[in-house]
Chains A and B, each alone.
Chain A
Amino acid sequence: MSAPLLQYLLSGLTVGAIYALVALGFSIIYNASNVINFAQGEFVMIGGMATASLAGAGVPLALAAPLAIAATTLVGVALAKLAVERARGASVVTLIIITIGASILLRGLASLIWDKNIHALPAFSGERPIAIGGATLLPQSLWVLGVTLVVVAALWWFFNRTLHGKAMLATSHNPLAARLAGISVRRVLLLSFGLSAALGALAGILVAPITFTAWDVGVMLGLKGFAAAMLGGLGSGPGAVLGGLLLGLAESLSAGYLSSAYKDVIAFGIILAVLVLMPSGLLGRRSSDRV
């Protein structure tokens, strides 16, 4: 394989893994409530910014990261409790608009609590690039890819092998029947927001050494993560990962071989084409199943 091609593939996988982690957060909340949470990108931002500010204050990374994840989880639960739950019974579109409002609020708060500067975290295991057949990969990229795999496995186990996970899936399929079976739909909602906030924060911490973090990074990461989730099929864990990786590869290959000016156009063009042909994404549940 030629060195440039290998480099494009490695770059695409790195970026793709970042998108995949964000996309997984979208899928969890969608599974539990059919809501697309547009504040998902802000969870990523809060995780990264909180860790950066704690690390800046001298807290070791091994302590700063869990603290930041815990704080973000609280934000996620608070969002569910204070905003989404109060609008119970409202249409899904209303709930989605609430999450858009929440994302604007969280961004504004972050710029006040922290600042408007860009922050970096040190890479977990050094900055020395690993050479692979003429191409290079940062050790941090392996962290991102590795953690993504672990998270996917853990989520699969959670949703298929634990009572809480099955309760969440049941709620997404039919909230009324789930409630009749004794599942607390309220708790499932809180759990799903908490879980995807924690996941978003984890993503934010992992990618901060590569992409830096700032009060407004959530916008673009959220958008790309959403696109990846759509491509792979909303609600599907493996779909989110597949969608993220494909999006990352499409971007880097088109920047490398076609035109860097149009790489986003090409990537989003592919997504549109897929969605026209397969409206529920590559690995999504057929929507007719749920009627």
Chain B
Amino acid sequence: MKLHTWFAAALVAVAAAAQAQDPIRIGSFLSVTGPAAFLGDPEQKTLELYVDRINAAGGVLGRKLELVAYDSGGDAEKARTFAKRLIEEDKVDAIVGGSTTGETMAVIPLVEQAQIPFISLAGAVVIIEPVKKWVFKTPHTDRMACEKIFVDMKARNISRIGLISGSGGFDKSMRAQCMQVAGKYGIQVVADETYGAKDTDMTAQLTKMRQNGQIQAVLNAGFGAGPAIVTKNYRQIGMRAPLYQSHGVASKEFIKLAGGAADGVRLPAAALLVADALPGSDPQKKVVTAYQREFESRYKQDVSTFGGHAYDGLYLVVDAMKKAGSTDKAKVRDALESIRGWMGVDGEFNLSPTDHMGLDLSAFRMLEIKNGDWTLAK
């Protein structure tokens, strides 16, 4: 008997040691290729970069992190398959991924059933509203972008606006959110025009708006080449009312495409975009400049806000694991809900059982393009 007891004890010890050596597995599925590659590519690079850095600093709870990432190519069906594989075969401890809203929504039923913490990197508000027990997200929502713009308009005594939006998914979602919250800010949408995702000329829609004598400002909810064409056409036909763009064009590419026409355009954007222009007193400055420096020195490419979402997602999970003192899925989930005042690249996160994103309007900065560069709008 004694021998047996010893043997059993040894087995337990070996198992425990093995467990201590076992890495914590972070699963991910991202649109690294395909039409949404501009999202998934910086996200994957960010996850790889910071998993390495966390491991170099000793890992989490004395264990190393291991990243298990798949390329969904922006396809919701593939995302579902990979999420299933992450949960059932790779047995990951948490999932950080889902570059697009479509992929994320396809995966939600799986993670809810498997009861595994999932932090989405996609934008739409439907991901966290209504609140789903196991689903969190890090990017700002398009509703917040609308609200930030309307706050700025009110400050400039603008109350009647024209809205022009594209036919893409981002554009439509943002248009709907803006229409929904406009009333709350005393903004009246007096013209509502649209254009096709691949349209090459919007002067007709803008001329129609110019004929509408009431419009005090124009808001373009759009993504891709459309907003740059709108901006050029806007100047071409000589419209003088202020032009607002969405956070969807918050990249240097937009300024490059629209050229001189971009001057004077206002838009809400993440602090990361103007990391250098932030005053030293800004509480977000330290984290965004560090992220920018580390990403750009490793990959020799410009940092993007999308990679920032992945940074926040990874660190929120790590933080929750440390708080929970284990990788137990239920404990990590509870710990996620209790994170307060954590400063990430996207802003200050204050998560709660009713708010699974935890950002407020302070996460956005209102920018104005001047001389071909971003400046903080006064």
Contacts and interface: CB of A to CB of B under 8 A. Distances in A.
Interface stretch (A78-86, A177-185, A209-217): A209-217
B237 to A, nearest CB: 5
Nearest to B257: A120
A154 B163 CA distance: 44
A146 interface: no
A256 interface: yes
A14 B229 CA distance: 14
A252 B238 CA distance: 18
Contact of A8 (B193, B207, B259): B207
Interface residues of B, number: 32
A188 interface: no
Contacts of B38: 116-117
Contact of B238 (A117, A136, A219, A261): A136
A178 B16 CA distance: 85
A211 B226 CA distance: 9
Given A15-B200, A136-B238, A260-B193, A127 B208 contact: no
B204 A7 contact: yes
Contact of B205 (A15, A116, A211, A255): A255
Contacts of B200: 15, 18, 207, 210-211
Contacts of A33: none
A11 B201 contact: yes
Interface residues of A, number: 36
Contacts of B211: 4
Interface of A: 4, 7-8, 10-12, 14-15, 18, 116-118, 120, 127, 129, 135-136, 138, 207, 210-212, 214, 217, 219-221, 251-253, 255-256, 260-261, 263-264
Given A18-B200, A210-B200, A263-B196, 20 more contacts: A4-B211, A7-B203, A7-B207, A7-B237, A11-B203, A14-B201, A116-B38, A117-B38, A120-B259, A127-B259, A127-B261, A136-B237, A207-B200, A211-B201, A214-B225, A217-B198, A220-B196, A251-B204, A255-B204, A256-B205
29 contacts: A4-B207, A4-B210, A8-B207, A10-B203, A14-B201, A116-B35, A116-B38, A117-B38, A118-B225, A118-B257, A120-B257, A127-B259, A127-B260, A127-B261, A135-B207, A135-B237, A136-B203, A136-B237, A210-B200, A210-B201, A212-B229, A219-B198, A220-B197, A221-B198, A253-B204, A256-B204, A256-B205, A260-B193, A260-B205
